Amino acid sequence: MAGVLDKRDTDGMSPELGRDPAIVRPTEAQRRIDVSRREPDASLAAWVDYVWIVRWDTAEPYEQQLIPQPVVHVAAEQGRLLVHGVARGTFTRSLEGVGHVVGVAFRPGGLRPFVDVPVGTWSDRVVPAGDVLGADDRAVAAHLLEPDRTDDELADGICGYLLSIGAQPDPVVDEVAALVETAERDRAITRAEQLADHAGVGLRTLQRRFSDYVGIGPKWVIQRFRLLDAAAAAHSGEPTDWAALAVALGFSDQSHLVRAFTAVVGTPPATYESTA
C-alpha cells in the first residue's frame, strides 16, 4: 500500500512531493481543489516519485493552471489512463461538479525503463497508456474513476497497473535524476553547458541523454526551474525585486525574465504576484 504523504504536512519544496510553486494561484486553488500526494509502492520507487490525487466539488466551471515541470505523468481521467509527456507550454485543466483524478509522477528518466523508445517521443503529447506501455488501461481507469474510491484504493490501483508491466533497473535513471535535481537546487547553474560540465560529459551527449530519458533538453529544464523559483517568490507574500531576482536566476535582464514567465503563466511576474 502506498504510504501517505500529504502536501500540507511539508514545506512545499520536497522533491519527493513535487514543487507547489507549479500550482498557479495556489491560494485560489486551495479553495477549489484538494491535493494529496503519497509515496508509491516500494517496488516502484526506482522509477516513480509520488502518487498524486486531486479531488474537487465545484458548482461552477473552474480552470486550474499548472506550470509544467520536466516530469512525465500517467493519470486516470476521461475513461483512460493517459501518459502526459513533458509539456513545453502551459497546462490547464477544466473542472466542474464532483470528481477526482489520480496519477503518478515519474522520476526524471523514470518512464524510460518501461518503454523501448526515447521519452522525448511523447513531449507535448497526451497518449493512452495502453499505446505507450503495451497493457490495456481501460479496465483500470474505469475502476479508478468510480465515485467514492478511497485514496488507498486509488494509489494501490494505479501502482498496480505499473507493477503489472514491470521494468528493469537502469542506472542511467539515477544519473539523470541526480542531474535534474542539481539543476533544480543549484541556482548558480543557469546554462546547459554548466550542467554538462557538472556531469563530466559534452553538451551534445547531455542533450541526447536528456531527450532520451527526460523527454526535454537540459536548457529547458534549467530555465523551467528558474521560472518555478520566480513563481515561489511571487507566492511568498513578500515584495519581490524582480530586476535583482532576474539576475540571480541567470536571466540576462528583467525583460528576459518577464518574457519567459509571461509565456508560461500568461501574465508578467509582477502582475502575477499581485493576484497570486
- Indicate if the pLDDT at residue 89 is higher than 90: no
Per-residue exposure over 170-207, b if at least 16 CB sit within 10 Å of its own CB, e if not? beebeebbebbebbbeeeebbebebbbeebebebeebb
187 in the same domain as 129 = no
- 147 φ/ψ angles, rounded to the nearest 5 degrees: -60, 155
Same domain assignment for residues 155 and 178: no
Among 143, 165, 187, where does a domain finish? Answer: 165
Give yes or no: residues 188 and 253 share one domain: yes
Q: How far apart are CA 110 and CA 47, in angstroms?
A: 4
Q: Provide the pLDDT for residue 45.
A: 95
Q: Confidence band (pLDDT; 50, 70, 90) for 19?
A: low
Q: Could you tell me if 183 and 112 lie in one domain?
A: no
Q: Which of 14-23, 55-64, 97-106, 165-174 has the lowest mean pLDDT?
A: 14-23
Mean pLDDT of the chain: 90
16 and 140 in a single domain? The answer is: yes
> What percentage of the chain reaches a pLDDT higher than 90?
82
Residues 6+ apart with CB under 8 A from 272: 231, 234, 261, 265
pLDDT-derived band at 6 (thresholds 50, 70, 90) equals very low
At residue 90, the pLDDT reads 81
Q: Which of 165, 188, 209 is the last residue of a domain?
A: 165
205 and 123 in a common domain: no
What pTM was estimated for this model as a whole?
0.88
Is residue 255 over pLDDT 50?
yes
Q: Is the same domain home to 116 and 92?
A: yes
Number of domains in the chain: 2
Do 111 and 232 share a domain, yes or no?
no
Q: Which of 150, 165, 180 is the last residue of a domain?
A: 165
Residue 71's pLDDT is: 95
Same domain, 154 and 56: yes
3-state secondary structure of 252: coil
Tell me, yes or no, whether 146 and 180 share the same domain.
no
The rounded distance, in Å, linking the Cα atoms of 73 and 55 is 17
Boundaries of domain holding 267? 171-275
We report the CATH number of the domain holding residue 175 as: 1.10.10.60
Distances (CA, A) of 103 to 100, 147, 269: 10, 16, 29
Helical axes 171-185 vs 192-199, angle rounded to 10°: 130
132 and 72 co-located in one domain? yes
Q: Are 222 and 183 in contact (CB under 8 A)?
A: yes
The enclosing H or E element of 152 equals: helix 151-165
Are residue 208 and residue 155 in the same domain, yes or no? no
